[in-house]
Amino acid sequence: MNLLHMRPCDIEKAVAKNIPVLLPLGAVEYHGQHMPIGTDTLIAEGLCKLIAQKADVIVAPAIPFSPTMHWAGGAESGDMDFSEEALAVYALEYIRQLAKVGFRRIYVMLGHQGKGGLPALIMEKAGRVAAADISRAMGAGWGCLPPEQLPENVYSLVRVCDYDEFSDYSKINRNERMPVGHGGRGETQLIMALYDNLVRMEALKDAKKPLPPWLSDVYEADAADGAFWVDFCVDGFVEYFKR
């Protein structure tokens, strides 16, 4: 389900069933001449949409902006270094509003910087602050209430997830973990698999030489391998939610 497509009666039913919400989080960032600047957001959003085709989940509108520190390129390349302060304000309000609607299982599909990065930390803090709001609204001494009256999942309102968060590597015959890497083989083949018309490998011919280290394996990108990892990640989430 797409959150923006839902009617009030759909929302009420989803809240009553405690259906999870997937929130894609990415960035607008330079990933090389061959890749779209929305790569991080597109991958996170694409995976969420595929998960929603197989599991009873809601896909919320993506957050497309987060800090890039202009690590890979400047504004002239389309790179947008969205400040952490701005993201923190937006993320907290976003999570608070989802919680006010009644959603209690919010999973952030992290497309940028990994779990140790600023976007992940900001989203985790937003979840904890929103959870504190829910707790305080119950009044003093709410922890003394009978278990059946306590708010469900209040301390795990938001979970920040990598693409392969719930994937089981023991089920596949691979000697590597899922490649991601900025703009290189991993992300390039994921975009190839999810959006078959957005990668332009020929554009690398006009790029400055030598290519930056993070593009050293870019020519190893393979759409079929990307599709394998897409399925691997999607299946992990689907199995988790069905449990």
Cα 129 to Cα 121: distance, rounded to the nearest angstrom: 12
- The helix (run of H) or strand (run of E) holding residue 160 is strand 158-161
Whole-number pLDDT of residue 152: 64
Q: What is the mean pLDDT of the chain?
A: 95
Q: Which one of 3.30.565.10, 3.30.1180.20, 3.40.50.970, 3.40.50.10310 gives the CATH number of domain 3-173+232-242?
A: 3.40.50.10310
Structure confidence by residue, pLDDT tens digits, 60-87: 999 999 999 999 999 999 999 999 999 9
Structure confidence by residue, pLDDT tens digits, 197-206: 999 999 998 7
Closest by alpha carbon to 98, among 129, 53, 64? 129
Whole-number pLDDT of residue 130: 93
Structure confidence by residue, pLDDT tens digits, 141-192: 888 888 777 766 667 899 999 999 999 999 999 999 999 999 999 999 999 9
Pairing of strands 106-110, 58-59: unpaired
Whether the CB-CB separation of 193 and 49 falls below 8 Å is answered with: no
- Global pTM reads 0.94
pLDDT over 90 at 39, yes or no? yes
